[in-house]
Structure 1
Amino acid sequence: MTQGWTRTVSVEELKTKGRTVYRQDGRQIALFDTKNGIYACNNRCPHEGYPLREGTLDENCLLTCNWHNWKFNLETGENQRDGDKLRTYPVEIRDGDIWVEIVDPSVEEQLAKSLDDLRQGFVDHDYERLAREIARIVRLGVDPIIAVKEAIRWSHDKMEFGWTHAYAGAADWLALYDEHAGEPENQLICLLESIGHMSGDTLREESYPYAEGAEDWDPEAFFQAVEGEDEARAICLTRGAIATGDAYGAMEHALARAALAHYADFGHSAIYVPKAGALIRRLGEDIAEPVLVSLVRGIVSAFREDLIPEFRAYGGALETFGTKPNGAAPAAADYAKLNANKAVQFTAEHGTAPALDLFRTLLAANATNMMAFDLSHLDDLDQPYGSDFGWLDLTHGLTFADAVLELCRKYPELWPAGLLQMACFSGRNIAHQDDNVDFEVWKVTDPDAFFADVAQTLFDHGHDEYIVSVHLVKTAQSVRNLLASQEAGHAGELALAALNRLLASPVRRKMVRRTARQAMRFVDTDI
């Protein structure tokens, strides 16, 4: 592409027209004759590409794009609405002709500008601007993964209670990114969804600083700090692990132990631990601190559902796990009528069965619950507060199973906790089944073709809420992982069928009338 000073049009031609467009090598340069002189700028509005030649120019050389009212200082290119800056070009008059200097900044300068603009789009949660800046980084020939790393750095201290689904989803979107090398549009989608979700989850959030300092890594001290909800010490110990140069490798066992010490945060603590490892392996050790300190904050502050009545039998079941001589795993159907407390007690009674056999049984129970979800439940208006239930709740039974398999195969002493918490999911979700749902209708006969179609669905999912799309990508990746493990057996087929039905069904999230009815009932009893 031509660089340097370039002759465009004559002064006479421009003064006759008032404005014109010079085209060269695919570049469009708008030229304006004003009372302050001749100006040149990119003819394409940086917002959505509409022609600025058709814009409105006032006496102060403020150029307005008439499509969306973006306004630019024609002399400097500054955007009056804090959006993308307009590129302007130096102009000289030589022998009655207008010459424009076309010199593209260095790659380093362009990257710095794109990252600055990306950050502004991140702060504003401007999805389209995020997409443009990631695309610009790709066009520079720079690895765009840098954008994900920066987004984590910008967001990790704005998560008051630690990790959200945004980071967990990023691990799975990045896996899809790598699988679709050579498909730039699909890869851009993976990065955009990751960064957009981080931006959305931290929109207008203040910074919640982490404790300063470091302490030599000690896994037992870390576990006790988490149990005691001592975030400051847990963070300092985390920095000690980071100093070893293999932060996740040093911490994985302690993180898994802490995450599974309770039925914590509806299983999210355990689900997030392997995702942290995946992020650090993919993005590099230099991202370990923001990833891990925010993860640790989340585990420390996680709700401990094993302390509420619905799951209160969990603690006793963990103590008695494997003490009865039931050496064979029960069938998944045996869980069909068991609530959470009964399910954990029943699982503990069969604790002497091989761990993987119990795992397959509980995976099958959870997959069946999800596959047979009664969609009429979404229209039930008479549920009390705390009883709202939908597809996303059911997906946790599968994503949690994926995490349990990964962590407990490495650390077998954690199997009792992992299996009992899978039973918690089974018992919690058992009351929402439609017995008329037929496995044969939703059975997947060609998993490879199915997952190829799933990827295309994810690349254009159409959901406004990140919380929906992230559950879809996480569930799809978890089912793939479970099948690839060769440990799922028939339960894997049930999980595939459950995913198939999820993707073919409505995911209703906003329950307007139900919310109003719940509020009225609550207020009537709040006396």
Structure 2
Amino acid sequence: MQWLDAITLERLDRSGKTIVRHDGGQILLIAADGAIFAVDNRCPHEGYPLAEGALDGCTLTCHWHHWKFDLASGRTLVGEDRLRHYPVRVRDGQVQIDLTPPDRNASRRRILDDLETALRTRRQGRILREAARYLAAGGDHLDLVRHAVAWAHERLEDGTTHAIAVTPDWLALAARPETTPAERLVALGEILGHIADDAFGQGLHPFADDADPKSRSWNPAAFLDAIETENEAAAIHLIRAAPRAGLAADDLRPILARAALNHYADFGHSLIYTIKTVDLIDTLGPGGAAPLLALLVRSLIRATREDLLPEFATYQTVLDAWGRARTDTPALAGASLRGKSVRRVLPIVAGWGARHPPEQIFEALVGEAAWMMLHANASLFDRTDVAPAQSVNWLDFTHAITFAEAGWRVAGETPALWPSILLQLACFIGRNAGFVDAAADASAHGQDDDRASLDRQYRAVFDHGRDRFIISAHVVKTLCAADAMATILPAQAHTLTAALNRFVAAPMKGRHALRAARQALDLIGPGANRIALI
């Protein structure tokens, strides 16, 4: 116990309250209803001095946002965060306050409980405050991420989301030596807030129980078959058996990537999610692997199959014919793909496969994807009179860059996957071809020094100002992927950097209200026009 003589009982009885300053902080001492209470003078919401508040019996009200605290029970009656209370006693006419620091382990456990409440209610301000409190109590910032993933994983009905995929990039940015404490808290807040946003309003979607886990053994072929047949329970049981076979997440990456690339799935997200999930497990450690792998398995099984859509229907046929020479294949140059549909782009890229190393084809495709993002016709993105399939936006262009970075890493481990990676990258190029303005003047987005330009983007990302997590996530993921690609492909660095600059500077609508309403009317049919009579 560290008892501090604060004030005489006689003086406190006369004044009713006083502020005790100690070690840079302020404690509010209050006499109310025959008892004495000591609490932090700063409201736990935004720091307004509680000494300026109102006391009604044992209820203390902060006038800044009308939060109310029950001094007797210690509960927050209106508001969210806990108000710290201090033990008080009277000895020889002196009111004493116990300043013994709280047990850090107990504090961290309580803060994690409070963080769950903040995640469940999607209160971004409180998420930041609880994260800051956890760090102040000596907690590891990675524990906050592990806890949030464990809390959310059965609430994400379709498995992995961008909230998970961007987490390793935010953590990498937080770990940069030049990152300030406030910026590190930004990174944590973006991670935790995005997870909460994706899980908000969802019920629980439990994963299969494994009554006899030791009866299962890791079998890569059976795992791929379970993904292909959409047998989630079998795939979950198999992935849980991998650690018992001595396999770490890095060991699983090739087979997970193969599952992700078996089809043109989820517009390339499947591969991006796979690589980022393994990266995150590497950062969090094996203790965080189980929920992340379960989420990835679910997302692989539930991924949309774009190769079954008419636009991409020739993908599998062209893949099967990879490496066969064609006499009509133009010279290897990204510009030869401009203005061409997916059906026309795929055979050209496959024809290149018969004549050129995959690394050369990859560079041409990445360069073209960056050029397309630099010349994207943003005037088409906000149209309100388009069908859902034509509702293209900036994110469709960024996915080609983030997919390329994931594909490069996979191909380095498993060269046999090059044809799938290159053709899927070609799908992005053909898909986005109709939303490009080749004549647009993009010179304003280039910089004399590409490295300096990227460094400016890194410094600016902590104050991105985006109103939706999905947008800030794409800013961060595209920044990290473009930087990686610029290092790997220095000849494309200038185009990649200029495209990134344009994307980051572009205004983006938070919602497309009129477009969504028109699409709803078109879907429901003529009868829906009766809405005009309401």
Q: Which TM-score tier does this pair reach, normalised by the shorter chain?
A: over 0.9
Q: How does 1:2-17 map to 2 (within 5 A)?
A: 4-17=2-15
Go from structure 1 to structure 2 and tell me whether the alpha carbon gap of 1:52 and 1:10 turns closer, same or farther (over 3 Å shift).
same
Write the distance in 2 (CA, Å) between the matches of 1:262 and 1:476: 27
Unaligned runs of 5+ residues in structure 1 are none
Deviations 1:140-166 (A, max 9, x none): 333221111111111111111100000
Following superposition, the deviation at residue 245 of structure 1 comes to 4.2
Aligned match of 1:136: 133
Of residues 268-277 and 87-96 in structure 1, the stretch that sits farther from structure 2 once superposed is 87-96
Unaligned runs of 5+ residues in structure 2 are 529-534
Go from structure 1 to structure 2 and tell me whether the alpha carbon gap of 1:275 and 1:526 turns closer, same or farther (over 3 Å shift).
farther
Following superposition, the deviation at residue 331 of structure 1 comes to 0.9
Of residues 379-388 and 260-269 in structure 1, the stretch that sits farther from structure 2 once superposed is 379-388
Partner of 2:381, secondary structure, is helix
Q: How does 1:240-279 map to 2 (within 5 A)?
A: 240-279=241-280
2:424 maps to amino acid:
Q
Following superposition, the deviation at residue 7 of structure 1 comes to 0.9
Could you tell me whether the CA contact under 8 Å between 2:454 and 2:497 is conserved in 1? no
Could you tell me whether the CA contact under 8 Å between 2:446 and 2:498 is conserved in 1? yes
Q: How does 1:342-357 map to 2 (within 5 A)?
A: 342-352=344-354, 353-357=356-360
Deviations 1:256-315 (A, max 9, x none): 111001110011001111111211111101111111111111001100100010100101
Write the distance in 2 (CA, Å) between the matches of 1:196 and 1:504: 23
Q: TM-score, length-normalised on structure 1?
A: 0.95
Of residues 340-349 and 257-266 in structure 1, the stretch that sits farther from structure 2 once superposed is 340-349
Q: How does 1:273-312 map to 2 (within 5 A)?
A: 273-312=274-313
Write the distance in 1 (CA, Å) between the matches of 2:504 and 2:21: 47
Write the distance in 1 (CA, Å) between the matches of 2:507 and 2:10: 63
Write the distance in 2 (CA, Å) between the matches of 1:434 and 1:328: 22
1:35 maps to amino acid:
D
Could you tell me whether the CA contact under 8 Å between 1:220 and 1:254 is conserved in 2? no
Could you tell me whether the CA contact under 8 Å between 1:89 and 1:101 is conserved in 2? yes
Write the distance in 1 (CA, Å) between the matches of 2:510 and 2:338: 26
Could you tell me whether the CA contact under 8 Å between 2:217 and 2:245 is conserved in 1? no
Could you tell me whether the CA contact under 8 Å between 1:390 and 1:508 is conserved in 2? no
1:183 maps to amino acid:
T
Q: How does 1:426-465 map to 2 (within 5 A)?
A: 426-465=429-468
2:373 maps to amino acid:
M
Q: Does residue 1:478 correspond to 2:463, yes or no?
A: no
Q: Does residue 1:408 correspond to 2:411, yes or no?
A: yes
Q: Does residue 1:160 correspond to 2:157, yes or no?
A: yes
Following superposition, the deviation at residue 427 of structure 1 comes to 0.5
Partner of 2:422, secondary structure, is helix
Q: How does 1:49-198 map to 2 (within 5 A)?
A: 49-59=47-57, 61-81=58-78, 83-180=80-177, 183-198=180-195
Following superposition, the deviation at residue 81 of structure 1 comes to 3.7
Deviations 1:383-436 (A, max 9, x none): 123211111111001111111111012111111111111111000000111223
Write the distance in 2 (CA, Å) between the matches of 1:231 and 1:332: 39
Deviations 1:436-493 (A, max 9, x none): 3334332233233222211222101111110000000000010111123x2x243333
Write the distance in 1 (CA, Å) between the matches of 2:208 and 2:403: 30
Write the distance in 2 (CA, Å) between the matches of 1:138 and 1:95: 39
Could you tell me whether the CA contact under 8 Å between 1:360 and 1:489 is conserved in 2? no
Aligned match of 2:531: none
Could you tell me whether the CA contact under 8 Å between 2:486 and 2:492 is conserved in 1? no
Q: What RMSD in Å do the two structures reach over aligned CA positions?
A: 1.9
Go from structure 1 to structure 2 and tell me whether the alpha carbon gap of 1:320 and 1:174 turns closer, same or farther (over 3 Å shift).
same
Could you tell me whether the CA contact under 8 Å between 2:450 and 2:494 is conserved in 1? no
Could you tell me whether the CA contact under 8 Å between 1:166 and 1:197 is conserved in 2? yes
Write the distance in 2 (CA, Å) between the matches of 1:288 and 1:368: 37
Could you tell me whether the CA contact under 8 Å between 2:330 and 2:336 is conserved in 1? no
Deviations 1:324-368 (A, max 9, x none): 157986211111021112111221222212101111111122111
Deviations 1:98-140 (A, max 9, x none): 1112211122122222222222212221111121122122223
Partner of 1:80, secondary structure, is strand
Following superposition, the deviation at residue 189 of structure 1 comes to 1.2
Q: How does 1:312-461 map to 2 (within 5 A)?
A: 312-324=313-325, 330-352=332-354, 353-461=356-464
Could you tell me whether the CA contact under 8 Å between 1:180 and 1:187 is conserved in 2? no
What is the number of residues matched between the two proteins? 522
Write the distance in 2 (CA, Å) between the matches of 1:424 and 1:509: 27
Write the distance in 1 (CA, Å) between the matches of 2:481 and 2:414: 19
Could you tell me whether the CA contact under 8 Å between 1:369 and 1:394 is conserved in 2? yes
Write the distance in 2 (CA, Å) between the matches of 1:435 and 1:253: 38
Write the distance in 2 (CA, Å) between the matches of 1:245 and 1:124: 39
Go from structure 1 to structure 2 and tell me whether the alpha carbon gap of 1:245 and 1:459 turns closer, same or farther (over 3 Å shift).
farther
Aligned counterpart for 1:211 among listed residues 195, 203, 208: 208
Aligned counterpart for 2:31 among listed residues 10, 33, 38: 33
1:340 maps to amino acid:
V
Aligned match of 2:239: 238
Q: Which runs of 4+ in 1 moved over 6 A?
A: none
Could you tell me whether the CA contact under 8 Å between 2:467 and 2:510 is conserved in 1? no
Deviations 1:16-63 (A, max 9, x none): 22222111111211122223322221111111111111222213x111
1:124 maps to amino acid:
T
Following superposition, the deviation at residue 526 of structure 1 comes to 8.0
Following superposition, the deviation at residue 72 of structure 1 comes to 1.2
Of residues 306-315 and 210-219 in structure 1, the stretch that sits farther from structure 2 once superposed is 210-219
